[in-house]
């Protein structure tokens, strides 16, 4: 059984641990109060010296200053009382001032919430590119390591609710943006469920098939004067997103694919079902990337590409010239996260080398520093889904210039309950481990991009 006094004392002790950021200010307050106490003592001493104090006043002063006790005992009593009152007062003041501004997160103590916020605010600046389920899965894990996250989300989707809003309002696809906002939002779980709620019915109904989050994004864009980028910014603010979610471009783009048999497929939803994809591209050509996306990549210390659908979620963002240029110009650690499983149609039969070859064909060499792939194949395989784990075949050396071959990192990053998805916590931990190792290497090498050196890939 824990007694209330012990619980209070332990709670106050946690306020003093490193990272909370209150010790320096408590010390300043303590020094100020000590100065006031010293000033009062000097005044009282001067009164005794300059004036002959007699009568009832002398008795009251003697009692208050404990002059009937030895000096040592007096010092211990006064000091203990002062420390106790100072600690209790400081604790109550912090609670009164901070509690109204801190969201309720279950029964988590206020000191833990503040510590978490300050710890995450000191995390690395991360730019994550992609879309779909893979990106939102990664974000759920990364937000436990840093709050300086920018998700650069593809807007090439043309199916479902996103496609209908795009056709009727002329705005970019919002479905993947919605999923990422929900993944990063600090709002209560009920708000996440509300944003993901899909109205029953089909395309024949006015609201059938639409999600609340998609409609809110469309409405926010309209409220901001049909400024899609500003609409997404305001949704980040309203939903207290840990980091930010930004569109890769504010222009509605269409994804095209050329198949190996010479035929062409138009539209993200159709391409996702196609096999034998040779090349994809966007129309209109030369579309400008969003300002927020370019800035996030330029300031990033870590750039993560993937996971997600290779041709319909990852490559659409990389096909934007300004995005590609920003990644190449960045001094950040550039990591590609390969999917743990193939996708029927789009990447059926693909191994690791096929994924990397597709990226190299569309973007050119020297884009990546590290490739992260899963090496655990014992996860549970859900029935009724014709997919298989991505095999760990490394591309031939001729694919990249020798001096710019990315390193291969193998780790257990799969969801043990579903072999077709990453585990958020494991994936985020593996990426942060890569970041720590790579940035340590940079600190030990010369500044600039000369730190990149040939590193032999680990074999599977």
pLDDT digits (tens, 9 = 90+) for 265-287: 999 989 998 999 999 999 999 89
Q: What is the pLDDT of residue 102?
A: 60
Contact yes or no for 356/407 (Cβ under 8 A): no
Task: Name which residue leads in pLDDT, 128 or 456.
Answer: 128
Residue whose entry in the numeric block shows the structure tokens 């109205």 = 199
What 8-state DSSP symbol labels residue 371?
A: E
* pLDDT higher than threshold 50 for residue 381: yes
The DSSP result for 217-236, as a single string, is HHHHHHHTTS-HHHHHHHHH
Complete DSSP assignment for 391-441: P-PPPPGGGS-GGGPPEEEEE--EETTEEEEE-HHHHHHHHHHHHHHHHHH
pTM of the model: 0.77
- Token digits for 194? 């509300």
Q: How many CA atoms lie within 13 A of 322 on its CB side?
A: 16
Q: Is the dihedral of CA 190, 161, 295, 436 positive or negative?
A: positive
Phi, psi for 249 (deg, rounded to 5): -150, 150
173-184 pLDDT, tens per residue? 888 999 999 999
Q: What is the pLDDT of residues 206-259, one digit of tens each?
A: 777 788 888 999 899 889 888 899 999 999 988 888 899 999 999 999 999 999
Query: Domains in the chain and their CATH numbers?
Result: 4-108 (no CATH), 120-451 (3.40.50.10680)
């Amino acid at each position: 059984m824990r007694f209330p006094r012990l619980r209070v004392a332990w709670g106050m002790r946690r306020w003093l641990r490193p990272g909370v950021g209150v010790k320096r200010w408590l010390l300043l307050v303590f020094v100020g109060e000590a100065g006031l106490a010293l000033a009062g003592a000097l005044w009282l001493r001067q009164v005794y010296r300059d004036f002959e104090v007699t009568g009832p006043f002398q008795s009251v002063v003697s009692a208050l200053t404990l002059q009937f006790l030895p000096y040592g005992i007096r010092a211990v009593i006064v000091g203990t009382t002062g420390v106790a009152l100072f600690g209790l007062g400081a604790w109550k003041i912090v609670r009164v001032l901070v509690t109204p501004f801190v969201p309720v997160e279950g029964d988590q103590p206020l000191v833990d919430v503040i510590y978490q916020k300050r710890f995450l605010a000191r995390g690395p600046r991360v730019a994550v590119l992609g879309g779909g389920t893979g990106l939102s899965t990664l974000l759920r894990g990364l937000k436990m390591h840093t709050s300086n996250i920018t998700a650069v989300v593809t807007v090439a989707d043309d199916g479902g609710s996103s496609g209908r809003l795009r056709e009727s309002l002329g705005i970019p696809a919002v479905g993947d943006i919605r999923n990422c906002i929900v993944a990063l939002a600090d709002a209560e779980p009920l708000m996440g469920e509300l944003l993901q709620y899909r109205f029953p019915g089909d395309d024949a109904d006015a609201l059938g098939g639409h999600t609340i989050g998609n409609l809110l994004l469309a409405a926010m864009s309209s409220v901001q004067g049909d400024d899609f980028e500003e609409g997404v910014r305001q949704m980040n603010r309203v939903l207290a997103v840990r980091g930010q979610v930004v569109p890769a471009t504010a222009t509605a783009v269409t994804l095209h694919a050329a198949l190996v048999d010479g035929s062409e497929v138009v539209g993200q939803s159709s391409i996702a079902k196609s096999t034998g994809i040779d090349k994809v591209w966007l129309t209109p050509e030369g579309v400008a990337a969003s300002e927020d996306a370019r800035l996030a990549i330029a300031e990033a210390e870590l750039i993560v590409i993937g996971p997600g659908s290779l041709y319909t979620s990852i490559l659409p963002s990389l096909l934007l010239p300004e995005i590609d240029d920003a990644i190449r110009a960045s001094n950040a650690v550039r990591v590609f996260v390969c999917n743990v499983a193939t996708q029927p149609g789009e990447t059926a039969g693909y191994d690791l080398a096929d994924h990397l070859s597709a990226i190299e064909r569309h973007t050119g060499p020297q884009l990546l520093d590290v490739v992260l792939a899963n090496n655990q194949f014992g996860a549970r395989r859900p029935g009724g889904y014709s997919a298989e784990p991505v095999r760990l075949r490394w591309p031939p050396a001729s694919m990249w210039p020798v001096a710019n071959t990315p390193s291969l990192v193998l780790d257990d990053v799969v969801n043990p309950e579903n072999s077709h998805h990453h585990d958020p916590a494991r994936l985020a931990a593996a990426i942060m481990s890569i970041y720590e190792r790579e940035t340590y290497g940079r600190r030990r090498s010369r500044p600039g991009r000369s730190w990149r050196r040939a590193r032999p890939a680990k074999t599977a």
